[in-house]
């Protein structure tokens, strides 16, 4: 089992996703500022993993707090939450995790300082365990949507490395394979950060699931050749109407899927659904450093002075989405209703 991130007595330990697939290196964060940096620099990435990392960062900051009374501890808590909030704008799981830790804090703030700290650590660890359980449930729900055999295309990495473990989109694929389906994964390399070639290929190979890496622009040709029976991707935020913000390039894949009559599925925990955002146009899209596009492995690929766009995400309108697979079941259009219903329903006991 890949340990994407882990609470330890020494701090929060992350596999360094910027070093994969050639180096398996771990980073130990002993302060919440280090956790914030690790999120910002994409040592850890993937919406659900960012959520758990945020909770653990807050717990770590609390653990380190020198506050001796509830009022001072609250001041530290607010500051820590703010530092974590300022890391990345698009994945709603970050804000969801902060809010959940805030709600926990409110509930227990009358307790003694050491008890509060301990409860927040436990809450973060619970979120870690719940995320894995949610992914397993998504897998159970989604596996039936996967073809009995043949190619399934995915974009970016929505796997164990994007979550506390098992994965969302790759969790669905893993569950289908566990059920005996003969799936061959086509992984878009996913420029500029190459999560597909570096991360998805790495973790699927560890599981012995056959995988072919293609550059993003090959997806159309591969679909036209009839090699793809389904597409499944993750999500960074899903608006109330079912519009999906996910890694840049997802929208292009969705348009190609429509043109070829291939079902396009999104797998994401309910914490990714943001009922307060009515549609995709209101989702803030992070622009990242131009150097991610201009330089690869330190080598300059674009002449000086040329403009760059580097949005980290795009929005796929709901009309392209055949179904959204959550841990509570499968949502289908009209998403306004189905997502609201699933969001308000009691959490499925995994």
| Shortest Å distance, C-beta 325 to its own copies | 22
| Shortest Å distance, C-beta 100 to its own copies | 31
| Shortest Å distance, C-beta 287 to its own copies | 11
Instruction: Give the span between the Cα atoms of 321 and 324, in whole angstroms.
Output: 7
Instruction: Give the span between the Cα atoms of 24 and 16, in whole angstroms.
Output: 7
The pair of structure tokens assigned to 178 is 């566990």
Query: Can you give the C-alpha Rg of the chain in angstroms?
Result: 20
Which ranges constitute the DSSP H helices of 109-185? 113-142, 169-178
Instruction: Give the span between the Cα atoms of 325 and 8, in whole angstroms.
Output: 31
**Bridge partners, 265 (sequence order):** 232, 323
Asked if 236 is an active-site residue, the reply is: yes
| Shortest Å distance, C-beta 140 to its own copies | 27
For residue 235, give the 3-state DSSP assignment: coil
Closest CB to its own copies among residues 131, 188: 188
Place of tokens 């993750």: 234
User: Contact 190/249 with Cβ under 8 angstroms?
Assistant: yes
The pair of structure tokens assigned to 90 is 């698009």
Span near its own copies by CB under 8 A; candidates 87-95, 138-146, 189-197, 266-274: 189-197
Contact between 311 and its own copies by CB under 8 A: the answer reads yes
| Shortest Å distance, C-beta 304 to its own copies | 8
Q: What is the dihedral of CA 128, 53, 31, 3, to 10 degrees?
A: 60
Active-site residue (options: 236, 243, 274, 314) = 236
User: Could you say which of 314, 323, 325, 326 contacts its own copies (CB under 8 A)?
Assistant: 314
Contact between 307 and its own copies by CB under 8 A: the answer reads yes
Closest CB to its own copies among residues 129, 210: 210
Instruction: Give the span between the Cα atoms of 183 and 111, in whole angstroms.
Output: 51
Give the count of residues interacting with its own copies (CB under 8 A): 56
Dihedral over Cα of 214, 215, 218, 219: its sign: positive
Site for its own copies in 192-221 (CB under 8 A): 192, 194, 197-198, 201-202, 205, 210-221
User: Contact 269/136 with Cβ under 8 angstroms?
Assistant: no
Span near its own copies by CB under 8 A; candidates 34-42, 120-128, 303-311, 338-346: 303-311
| Shortest Å distance, C-beta 162 to its own copies | 17
Helix (H) or strand (E) holding 101: helix 92-108
Contact between 191 and its own copies by CB under 8 A: the answer reads yes
The site map against its own copies for 257-296 (x = CB under 8 A) is -xx---------------------------------xx-x
Instruction: Give the span between the Cα atoms of 137 and 173, in whole angstroms.
Output: 12
Q: How far is C-alpha 111 from the geometric centre of its chain's CA atoms? A: 33
Closest CB to its own copies among residues 123, 188: 188
Go through the chain and tell me how many residues it has. 350
| Shortest Å distance, C-beta 2 to its own copies | 13
Span near its own copies by CB under 8 A; candidates 69-77, 106-114, 182-190, 331-339: 182-190
User: Could you say which of 224, 226, 289, 319 contacts its own copies (CB under 8 A)?
Assistant: 224
Contact between 174 and its own copies by CB under 8 A: the answer reads no
Q: Which residues contact its own copies (rule: CB under 8 A)?
A: 21-22, 155, 188-192, 194, 197-198, 201-202, 205, 210-222, 224, 248-249, 251-253, 255-256, 258-259, 293-294, 296-303, 305-311, 314-315
Which residues are marked as active site?
236
């Amino acid at each position: 089992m890949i340990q994407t991130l882990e609470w330890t007595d020494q701090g929060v330990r992350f596999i360094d996703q910027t070093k994969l697939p050639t180096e398996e290196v771990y980073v130990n964060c002993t302060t919440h500022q280090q956790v914030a940096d690790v999120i910002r620099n994409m040592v850890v990435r993937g919406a659900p993993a960012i959520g758990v990392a945020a909770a653990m960062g807050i717990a770590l900051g609390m653990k380190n707090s020198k506050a001796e009374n509830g009022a001072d501890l609250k001041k530290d808590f607010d500051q820590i939450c703010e530092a974590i909030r300022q890391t990345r704008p698009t994945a709603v799981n970050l804000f969801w995790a902060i809010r959940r830790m805030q709600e926990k804090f409110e509930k227990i703030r009358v307790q003694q300082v050491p008890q509060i700290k301990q409860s927040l650590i436990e809450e973060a660890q619970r979120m870690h365990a719940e995320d894995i359980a949610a992914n397993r449930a998504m897998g159970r729900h989604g596996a039936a949507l996967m073809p009995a055999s043949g190619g399934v295309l995915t974009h970016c990495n929505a796997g164990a490395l994007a979550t506390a473990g098992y994965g969302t989109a790759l969790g669905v694929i893993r569950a289908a394979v566990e059920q005996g389906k003969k799936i061959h994964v086509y992984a878009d390399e996913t420029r500029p950060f190459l999560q597909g070639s570096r991360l998805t290929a790495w973790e699927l190979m560890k599981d012995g699931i056959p995988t072919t890496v293609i550059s993003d622009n090959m997806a159309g040709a591969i679909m036209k050749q009839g090699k793809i029976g389904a597409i499944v991707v993750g999500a960074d935020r899903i608006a109330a109407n079912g519009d999906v913000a996910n890694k840049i390039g997802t929208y292009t894949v969705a348009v190609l899927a429509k043109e070829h009559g291939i079902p396009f599925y999104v797998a994401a925990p309910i914490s990714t659904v943001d009922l307060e955002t009515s549609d995709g146009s209101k989702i803030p899209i992070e622009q990242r450093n131009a150097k991610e596009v201009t330089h690869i492995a330190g080598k300059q690929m674009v002449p000086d002075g040329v403009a760059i766009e580097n949005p980290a995400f795009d929005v796929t309108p709901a009309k392209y989405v055949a179904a959204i697979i959550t841990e509570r079941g499968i949502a289908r259009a009209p998403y306004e209703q189905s997502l609201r219903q699933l969001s308000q329903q009691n959490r499925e006991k995994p």
